[in-house]
Amino acid sequence: MAALRKRHMDLLLVFASVQLAVIVLLLFLNRQRRKAEQAVRQNLKRNGSLVRILQHPAESMEDLLDYALHESITLTGSSIGYIYLYDEKQNSLRSIPGRAGG
């Protein structure tokens, strides 16, 4: 009888261990799924931003760059951003600053 009780307890311990392993695996898989969903949402935001930039009726290169900069600032959640333009003739950089909401 004691041997049967010991075997029963051993089986319960194994069953509990398996259940714990399954719970840990499910938590891990849920976390991975949430990460993948977040990546998909971020890619959709990027694609939407690219579409808006490409469809923006820019009157000049400056206007397009300014719009792209503001889209980038919004997309990244930054408060400020810069685009640097390189002038080959003068061998110099010129920055175009931008601010969130501006």
What pLDDT does residue 73 have? 92
Structural domain boundaries in the chain: 2-99
Backbone angles phi, psi at 80, to 5 degrees: -150, 155
Query: In a structure prediction context, what are the per-residue pLDDT tens digits for the chain, which is 102 residues long?
Result: 788 888 889 899 999 999 999 999 999 999 999 999 999 999 999 999 999 999 999 999 889 999 999 999 999 888 889 888 888 888 988 888 888 765
Sign of the torsion angle spanned by Cα atoms 63, 69, 73, 78 = negative
Write down the pLDDT at residue 102: 57
**How far is residue 74's CA from residue 68's CA, in Å, rounded to a whole number?**
10
> What is the pTM for the complete model shown?
0.65
**What gap in Å lies between CA 24 and CA 82, rounded to an integer?**
45
